[in-house]
Amino acid sequence: MAASQPAGVVLSVEGLVKHFGPVRAVDGLTFAIREGEIYGLLGPNGAGKTTTIKSILGLHEVQAGRISVLGDDPLQHPERAKEHIGYVAEDPLVYGSITPRELFNFIASIRGLDPASATQRATQLLSSLDALSYYDTLMATLSHGTKQKMQVIAAMLHSPKLLILDEPLVGLDAKAARVVKELVSLHLQQGGSVLLSTHIMEVAQNLCTRIGVINNGRMVAEGTLEQLRAQEHAAAGASLEEVFLKLTDQEQAVKDAIEGFRQEYKNHKQSG
């Protein structure tokens, strides 16, 4: 039986702890995603974002804490939890020896979707992403960007309540990236929610309803951009990138790096 879940909460992560030997990748992480919002999970490399996502997907055993996807624990009830999730990885997770048509038919079969309806939805999504001509092309021959489009379609085929997007725009051209953003907006309008992990601060600033910033496996700040600005006493117009660098103690390191580049350029110019 599914555990109780607060009304309107799609995903809850409470006190999550995951370590690999002596390395504590996630250290007591807690956050929740509500229906109809895009929650940005941001952090430097090694902060624990990927480990958190894989734990939500049920791919990691955790040492402590609780994860609930619409009341289902992804470790105790993996099949039920996965029914609610669509996942787009940074590197396209697709089989090279099959075609998109075969992939989508397979997904429709294992998810118990009506074949005709699934084919119609796949065709619509392919057309939206200008990729219909690749429907019967082997995955192995497709470009990285086209594989990413197929992965987006595969994730959205069953209209999941929760989309987990890990750098979803990597490899996409400007047109496809815009279409994916519009598909995400439509997903929200239909009552879905999104967990977005990205290093592109502009994307997060423009798309996210709320943002959680993690560093060294811990949540260091959470809220809207305005709330994050207030926490760091940043200027009203400060960008998410500026606030993020402060929150993760990287601001001075960036300044030092830029000054080093300037000095090196100056020395090179003088010696030339």
Residue 180 covered by a domain: yes
Chain centre distance of CA 214: 14
Domain around 256: 9-84+160-271
Counted domains in the chain: 1
Token pair recorded at residue 46: 């090694």
Residue 138 covered by a domain: no
Q: How far apart are CA 137 and CA 140, in angstroms?
A: 9
Percent of the chain whose pLDDT exceeds 90: 64
Q: Per 3-state DSSP, what percentage of the chain is helix, strand, and coil (rounded to 5)? A: 45, 25, 35
Residue 233 covered by a domain: yes
Q: How far apart are CA 90 and CA 103, in angstroms?
A: 19
- So what's the pLDDT on residue 4? 55
- So what's the pLDDT on residue 1? 41
Residue 40 covered by a domain: yes
> Over 70: is that where the pLDDT of 208 sits?
yes
Q: How far apart are CA 143 and CA 178, in angstroms?
A: 18
DSSP 271: H
Which amino acid would we find at residue 217? G
The predicted-structure confidence for 115-140, as pLDDT tens digits, reads as follows 999 999 999 999 988 899 999 999 99
Token pair recorded at residue 61: 């055993």
Chain centre distance of CA 157: 17
170-190: average pLDDT: 84
Which CATH number characterizes residue 264's domain? 3.40.50.300
Residue 121 covered by a domain: no
Give me the chain's average pLDDT, please.
Answer: 89
Residue 64 covered by a domain: yes
Q: How many residues are there in the chain?
A: 272
Whether the CB-CB separation of 140 and 190 falls below 8 Å is answered with no
Quick one: pLDDT band at residue 109, thresholds 50, 70, 90?
A: very high
Residue 259 covered by a domain: yes
**Contacting residues for 10 by C-beta, under 8 A, at least 6 apart:** 33, 34, 35, 69, 70, 84, 161, 162, 193
Phi, psi of 110 (to 5 degrees): -75, -20
> Over 60: is that where the pLDDT of 106 sits?
yes
Whether the CB-CB separation of 62 and 16 falls below 8 Å is answered with yes
The vertex-24 CA angle with 255 and 195, nearest 5°, equals: 75
pTM for the full model?
Answer: 0.89
Pick 271 or 76 by higher pLDDT: 76
Provide DSSP, 173-211.
Answer: -HHHHHHHHHHHHHHHHTT-EEEEE-S-HHHHHHH-SEE
> Over 80: is that where the pLDDT of 50 sits?
yes
Axis-axis angle for helices 240-247, 251-271 (nearest 10): 100
Residue 128 covered by a domain: no
